[in-house]
A = this chain, B = another copy of it.
């Protein structure tokens, strides 16, 4: 099953193809593929080149995968059990540059996971990010220091068919993808006034 973005303007093919499935086949992701995926994250831009992103990565069958699974909310546990790779994104709250709280570490970490996403799509895999996890529990069981914050979890794998999922998730898997109209997102002169780009 494919769910390409129904775009009004043509976008890069990997971006068009990208979506967040919940069904994954049991095919593992090779070590070499994971090396490239996290190398892509490493080259993300960041404020003052602070590079505040850290990751914890588990592969199905190992201890880390089980530990990450334990931190997910029940809703996510039900489908993420299919995923061959589970990972956590973590941000450093303090800037390396000046030792003060970073205003943009969440923004920077979000970018790094987007860079992971592009490499994941390049590899023929898919990624599904999750805000639904107990970030405090995750920090505790992995011994994350106080100056860091667990932000999201994400599942990576080869996309499976909806019938691998429970009925309610299978329905969600087939539902249409929706976005706000571009006119409500891109402005000029004042907030809320649509940019003339879209006239």
Contact = CB atoms under 8 A, between A and B. Distances in A.
Interface of A: 5, 7-12, 14-16, 18-20, 31-32, 34-36, 38-45, 47-49, 51, 53-58, 62-64, 67, 90, 103-104, 106-111, 113-115, 117-119, 122, 129, 131, 142-145, 148, 151-152, 178-180, 182, 185-192, 195, 197-198
Nearest to A39: B9
The 8 A-B pairs at the shortest CB distance, nearest first, are namely A110-B110, A114-B114, A107-B110, A106-B106, A47-B131, A9-B39, A12-B122, A111-B114
B55 A186 contact: yes
B54 A191 contact: yes
B104 A104 contact: no
A-side interface mostly: mixed
Contacts of A129: 45, 47
B107 A63 contact: no
A18 to B, nearest CB: 7
A18 B43 contact: yes
Contact of A182 (B11, B18, B38): B38
B104 A131 contact: yes
B142 A190 contact: yes
Given A47-B131, A51-B179, A11 B119 contact: yes
A186 B57 contact: yes
Contacts of A18: 43, 45
Contact of A90 (B48, B53, B178, B191): B191
Most buried by B among A39, A182, A185: A39
Contacts of A63: 188-189
B38 A185 contact: yes
A131 B111 CA distance: 14
